[in-house]
Amino acid sequence: MTAPRRIATFDHDGLVFDVRDTGPLDGDVVVLLHGFPQTGASWADTAALLHQRGYRTIVPDQRGYSPRARPRGRFAYRSSRLVADTVALIDTLGTGPVHLVGHDWGAVAAWSTAARRPDLVTSLTTVSVPHPGAFLRAMLGSDQLVRSYYMFLFQLPWLPELAIRSRPRVLERTLAGTGMTPAQIDQVRQDIVRGGALTGGLNWYRAMVFNHPAALRARVTVPTTHVWSDGDTALSRRSAELAGQYVDAAYRLEILSGVSHWVPEEAATTLAAIIDRTATDAASRPV
């Protein structure tokens, strides 16, 4: 294995992805995948705390968000391409298996990557969004369907973008209702709406119809922790409770009290400790 080197970008599918590579260069690698409607900047607080624990963090701006990685059309955002992006990033690092962490849509990509390429993942920590199979089952047996109403609205072409750009106060009230702070909302305006990433982010939702049904049954075979917060307006407790049924390895469910959906920023200290514990436990298990 060659000596580790910093990366600022990686290439895949003819696209160029921006990457934040920080922390001790010789530390164990934690890859942090962001969700909607945010960029990798949402991981800043958690990453800084992981650096204090000796980890090197790799935080990409994902497909649809990096300015040079915004393909047209929703088909380009199907799950297989998101997994392939993550695999390309890990291969670019050349460090071997990583500790993989994802929040929101980043959690979906992380679940799928761990299921399809367990050889590249030492441990998995997912935040807010459970395994796709658990999410679907929760929609059929809890209030998850009602909580997910916006996902159906996002399927419409161009109308969500028009509504968000023409009625900014509606966006502000909606995000504030989920627990976002004014500073976070300003970041969404700057990075996503004004920054040109809105359609790319929405295309993750629009590509759901192209995802293979096998993803709903895919098993994860690496040590996993799922994190759910009881102030999450988008994800039900039932979805979190079902997630472990798709893991054939050491598994832990962590429930955070009084925390909104935006866990990486609102509960960074707790989340960094959870990631560290999951990584440490996985590394100490016999091969």
Residue-wise pLDDT for 151-202, tens only, equals: 989 988 999 999 999 998 988 999 999 999 999 999 999 999 999 999 999 9
71 burial via Cβ count (<10 Å: 0-12, 13-18, 19+):
middle
pLDDT of residue 141: 84
This prediction's pTM: 0.97
What is the predicted pLDDT for the residue at 284? 80
CATH code of 9-284, in short, is 3.40.50.1820
Confidence of residue 51 (pLDDT cuts 50, 70, 90): very high
CA distance 137 to 145: 10
pLDDT at residue 215 tops 90: no
Token pair, residue 140, equals 């059929």
Residue ranges covered by each domain of the chain: 9-284
- Report the C-alpha gap between 1 and 181 in whole angstroms: 43
> What's the pLDDT band for 140 if we cut at 50, 70, 90?
confident
pLDDT digits (tens, 9 = 90+) for 12-33: 999 999 999 999 999 999 999 9
From 80, 86, 82, 70, select the one nearest 10 (Cα to Cα): 86
Q: What is the chain's mean pLDDT, rounded? A: 96
pLDDT tens-place string over residues 249-284? 999 999 999 999 999 999 999 999 999 999 999 988
Token representation of residue 148: 């997910």
What H or E segment, with its residue span, contains residue 101? Answer: strand 98-103
Does the structure show a pLDDT above 70 at 1? no
Give the residue among 85, 216, 80 at the shortest CA–CA distance from 139.
216
User: To the nearest whole percent, how much of the chain has pLDDT over 70?
Assistant: 99
